[in-house]
Amino acid sequence: MKTARRASNVEVPSFLRQLVKETEKMVTSFFKGGPKEHGCGEQDNSDEDDSMPSPYLDCPILEKHVSEGGSQSGVNYAVASMQGWRAQMEDAHTCMPQLREELTDWGYFAIFDGHAGTTVAQYCSRNLLNYILATGGVKATEDPEQVKEGIRKGFLEIDRHMHKLARQDNWDRSGTTAAAIMMSPRYIYFINCGDSRTLLCHKGQVVFYTEDHKPFNPREKERIQNAGGSVILQRVNGSLAVSRALGDFDFKEVDWRPQTEQLVSPEPEVYEMERTPEDEFLILACDGVWDAIGNEELCAFVRSRLQVCDDLREICTQVMDLCLYKGSLDNMSIVIVCFPSAPQVSQEALQQEAALEQQIDMKVEEIIQTMRSRNEDPDLLYVIKFLAAEEIPGLPPGGGITSKRDCIISSYQKYIMAVKSQEAMVIEGSEEDSN
C-alpha cells in the first residue's frame, strides 16, 4: 500500500513572523471575540505605500461559519471556516456524507483553499465531484485502481474546462488547492493537490497524512525547472507558494506541454487505505491551520476535546481560535469527520477538565492579587504570558494554555470586577468620612 512522504517543515517568511510580533498587542481583542473590537483600528504612523493594498486587515474577522451533519452509517462531521486576518475570504468546502443513487453508502468531503481570488475555489466546491463521477471510475463494485484513476481524470478534466471558461469569460487569475477524501464502506481515498492537508487518527495515533506540494520539494522542483521555470524564495518563479493547484492558468500556458508537466500541475496524488473498526476521525484543513499546528498536535488536541465536548462544531471553532492565537494569518477552514470509534465524552475526562479550570482560576486570582500588591494594574496580556510560562499539568495536549481562553477570560473578568467593586466601596467610604 502506498503512503505519503513526510511533508517538509514550512519556513514562515520573516515578514510574517514580524507581523505576528507586531500584532501580539492585539491579543486582548482576540479574546473579546469580536471582529472590530476597540483598539484594533489604532492609527499606524509608519510610512507605507498606500498604492499597494495590504492582503491583511487591521483586525481579524473572527465570525465563524459552522455546520454539521451525518450519515446512516454512523459517520458524523462538522465544518467551520473563518476569514481571520486576510482581507478576503477565499476558502470553500464541500461536505456530502452520503452520495446519490448507487453510492448512498459513500461519502465525500473537500477543502478548497483559494488564492488570488475566489472564482476557482467556488467553482470546484460546486462541481469537482460531478467531474469525478462523470469519469465512471467510481462505482459501487469498487475497483480501487479505477476509483483513483477516476479521481485523477476528474481533476484534469475540470481544470481543462475552467481554463476555457477563464479565457472565455475573463475570470480572475485565481487558483485553489484541494484536499479531499472519498469514503466507501471499505476504503478511504485521500486526495491532495496543493498544501491543504488531510490526516487519519487511528487508536489515538496519526496513521496517515497527505504530502504538501511545495515548489522546493525535489519532485516538484524538477518538474518546474523542466517546464522552464525556477524556484525563487521557495515559490514558483518567485510568485506562487504551491506547486500543484487547480486554476492558476498563468502558470499553465505552454500549449505543447501536457497538463501534468506545466509549471503548476492540477494532478492530485491519491492514496487508498482500507477502513478498520479502530479508525477514529479524519481531519481536513487548509494551510491556515497547518501553518500553526502540527499533525500529531492537532490529532491529540481534537481527541482530547472529543472526551469533554459532544459538539463537533465547537471543537472546530476551538481549533481555529487556537491557530489564530498561535500566529496564523490566513483564512482557516476545517472539517472533522468522526467514525463510530471516535472518543466519547467521559465523566473522568470532564472531572479532570473541571479540576484543571479550577487550578487556572486560582492562578489567575493569585496573579491579580500579586499585581495589586505592587500597585500595578492587572493586565490580561500579562496574565496570559505569566500562565504560558507556568508548568500546569493536565493542559489539553497540542493546545496548552492558549486553548483555555474562555476559562482565563472568565476568571480574569470575575476577579477584575471584584477588584473594581472593592475600590468603589473604598472610594464611597472615603467620601462618607469626608462628609
Q: Are residues 329 and 352 in the same domain?
A: no
| φ, ψ at 247 (rounded to 5°) | 80, -145
Q: Which three cell numbers stand for residue 240?
A: 506562487
Q: Are residues 334 and 359 in the same domain?
A: no
Q: Are residues 309 and 288 in the same domain?
A: yes
Indicate the DSSP class of residue 4: P
According to DSSP, the residues that pair with 285 across neighbouring strands are 197, 334
Q: Are residues 162 and 210 in the same domain?
A: yes
Long-range pairs of 155-160 with CB within 8 A, sequence gap ≥ 24: 155/128, 155/131, 155/193, 155/246, 155/266, 155/267, 155/268, 156/259, 156/260, 156/266, 156/267, 157/131, 158/123, 158/124, 158/127, 158/128, 158/131, 158/246, 159/246, 159/247, 159/252, 159/259, 159/266, 160/259
**246: closest CA among 224, 273, 274, 265?**
265
Q: Are residues 316 and 370 in the same domain?
A: no
Q: With 60 as the cut, is the pLDDT of residue 4 above it?
A: no
Q: With 80 as the cut, is the pLDDT of residue 265 above it?
A: yes
Specify the amino acid at residue 253. Answer: E
Buried b (16+ CB within 10 A) or exposed e, 259-296: beebbbbbbbbbbbbebeeebbbbbbbbbbbbbbbebe
The CATH number of the domain where 410 resides is what? 1.10.10.430
* Structural domain includes residue 2: no
Specify the amino acid at residue 147. Answer: V
Q: Return the pLDDT at 127.
A: 98
The secondary structure of the chain in percent helix, strand, coil, rounded to multiples of 5, reads: 40, 20, 35
Q: Are residues 392 and 422 in the same domain?
A: yes
End position of a domain, from candidates 338, 370, 402:
338
Q: pLDDT-based confidence at 3, cuts 50/70/90?
A: very low
Q: Return the pLDDT at 9.
A: 39
End position of a domain, from candidates 318, 338, 358:
338
Domain tally for the chain? 2
Contact yes or no for 201/281 (Cβ under 8 A): yes
Q: pLDDT-based confidence at 54, cuts 50/70/90?
A: confident
Q: Are residues 382 and 424 in the same domain?
A: yes
Task: Report the C-alpha gap between 79 and 354 in whole angstroms.
Answer: 27
Q: With 50 as the cut, is the pLDDT of residue 202 above it?
A: yes
Task: Give the SS3 label for residue 268.
Answer: coil
Q: Write the pLDDT tens digit of every residue in 59-84.
A: 999 999 999 999 988 899 999 999 99
Task: Give the mean model confidence (pLDDT) for residues 191-195.
Answer: 98
* Structural domain includes residue 259: yes
* Structural domain includes residue 45: no
Q: Are residues 268 and 377 in the same domain?
A: no
Q: pLDDT-based confidence at 255, cuts 50/70/90?
A: confident
Task: Give the mean model confidence (pLDDT) for residues 187-204.
Answer: 97
Q: Write the pLDDT tens digit of every residue in 18-31.
A: 444 444 444 434 43
Alpha carbon dihedral 349, 355, 361, 365, in 10-degree steps, equals: -160
Specify the amino acid at residue 157. Answer: E
Q: Are residues 266 and 241 in the same domain?
A: yes
* Structural domain includes residue 48: no
Q: What is the residue whose three cell numbers read 476535546?
A: 305
Task: Give the SS3 label for residue 412.
Answer: helix
Q: Are residues 306 and 429 in the same domain?
A: no
Q: Are residues 387 and 282 in the same domain?
A: no
* Structural domain includes residue 276: yes
The CATH number of the domain where 280 resides is what? 3.60.40.10
Q: pLDDT-based confidence at 1, cuts 50/70/90?
A: very low
Length of the chain as a residue count:
435
Lowest mean pLDDT among 40-44, 310-314, 427-431: 40-44
* Structural domain includes residue 3: no
Q: Give residues with Cβ within 8 angstroms of 11, minimum separation 6.
A: 234
End position of a domain, from candidates 293, 315, 338:
338
Q: Are residues 400 and 292 in the same domain?
A: no
* Structural domain includes residue 44: no
Q: Return the pLDDT at 10.
A: 39
Task: Give the SS3 label for residue 391.
Answer: coil
Q: How many CA atoms lie within 13 A of 100 on its CB side?
A: 3
Residue 416 vs residues 338, 357, 359, 411: alpha-carbon distances, Å: 40, 18, 18, 8
Q: Return the pLDDT at 381.
A: 85
Q: Write the pLDDT tens digit of every residue in 349-366.
A: 999 999 999 999 999 999
Task: Report the C-alpha gap between 369 and 379 in whole angstroms.
Answer: 12
Q: With 70 as the cut, is the pLDDT of residue 260 above it?
A: yes
Residue numbers of the domain that contains 268: 14-38+55-338
* Structural domain includes residue 46: no
